[in-house]
Amino acid sequence: MTPTISAGDTAWLLVATALVFLMVPGLALFYGGLVRASAALNKFMMCFAAVAAVSVVWVLVGYSLAFAPGGPLIGGLEWVGFRGVGITSAGPYAATVPHIAFATFQALFAGIAAALISGAMIERVRFHVYLIFAVLWTMFVYVPIAHWVWGEGGWLRDLGALDFAGGTVVHISAGTAALVAALMLGRRRGLGVTPLLPHNVPFTLVGAGLLWVGWFGFNAGSALSAGPVAALALTTTHVAAASALLAWITLDLVRTGQATAVGAATGAVVGLVAITPAAGYVTPMAAIAIGAIGAGASYAAMQLRVRTKIDDALDVFACHGVAGIVGALLTGVFATKAVNPAGADGLLAGNPGLLGVQALAVLASIAFTAALTALILFRISAFGSLRVPAWDELAGVDHSEHGEHAYHGDDGAGIAAGGIGLSGGVLVPMVAERAAEKNAA
């Protein structure tokens, strides 16, 4: 029987797609507030340009390789250029919505994943290098993992791995890639010498709020119908974020005696990440636990990271990688068919095997992402430096990469506005290095 397109399901998916796009300015504000003023525009540009570039690649070939019928590791070429992706049913993926609506919804997931990685590379990577990386990473890392987990015939899907809205596909892969990128790029100049402080904390709070709203589309939209599972996913998404926010500020109060605004915003986002793989498979009470546990794990990871020399500038791995891992594993603990018969029972429902499958999916995604991300960056570096020149980094990447400044009154140097002072410990060696670069040229 030919599937019938549902106007209600289609309307919900269109709204959910728009909500997911709202996460783009949300992420730009969230990240943009956390960087120095001299990198704010660069941060916004990274988010918007990544989604634009990935969306075009998705139409050309990415969607087909991720979702078209193929083998266990990669899809086929049946839907290259969105050929055959039209207004008829999306078939095995979403029978009651147009295929093109499902494909476009998935395009934004891919774009968001690439944009997340920029948080680890900010203030030192060349803009064009980042865009090239975003495209290559999407094609060679994101697309295969999406097929493994979600595509018809994908090996992790066939094993029974659960990932409702992208905990493994989006967050673990992006978080792992961010950690690798931070290691390969090296530390920002001035880190540990002068404070590199957030320039606009209200931006970060507003961004977190927009992400919270957009995540309803991200998670509840992944039900692909306007029905009970979408309602469940919306509820679990909200309460997990709320739980994680409260857990984070509690940890802040215990550790420092102060509940910071940046901490509250970070906690909410961590809760959203943690619930993503489980949103349509667990109860609201389980979601509260997942949010709190995810917050605790990410908080600990962040405290550990600052004791190392790794400069994951905006703690993408701690927030997205760690919370994604926790969420994927806890899906194997709390999932129950009592709330979604299309899912599976987890450890607490008498099926410990699901936890093993979830752990395998986590390990496979981390290993594959780490290896391919390192290879992509290594190959790009063969054609030129990944980083902006030393002086441009200190003066601010907004000016060197875009020829603009976020705020009027910037004298062009961007040093004071960017939070790096005129101390000889940073500036004098950089002046000498700049002079050496000019002489070499």
pLDDT at 433: 47
3-state DSSP assignment of residue 125: strand
Structure tokens at 413: 């140097």
* pLDDT, tens digit (0-9, with 9 covering 90-100), for 134-171: 999 999 999 999 999 999 999 999 999 999 999 999 99
Secondary structure (3-state) at 98: strand
- Residue closest to 116 by CA, chosen among 30, 183, 185: 30
List the chain residues with pLDDT less than 50. 410-439, 441
What is the SS3 assignment for 387? strand
Give pLDDT, residue 25.
97
In 3D, which of 333, 331, 328, 264 has the Cα closest to residue 299? Answer: 264
Distance CA 276, CA 327 (A): 7
The predicted structure's pLDDT at residue 1: 54
Considering the entire predicted model, what is its pTM?
0.91
119: enclosing H helix or E strand: helix 99-121
pLDDT at 312: 93
Structural tokens at position 14? 């269109």
Q: Please give the single-letter amino acid code of residue 407.
A: Y
In the chain, where the domains are located: 7-381, 390-440
Quick one: 7-381 is in which CATH superfamily?
A: Ammonium transporter AmtB like domains (1.10.3430.10)
**DSSP state string for 159-194:** HT---SSSIIIIIIHHHHHHHHHHHHH-PPTTBTTB
pLDDT of res. 166: 96
The per-residue pLDDT for 429 is 41
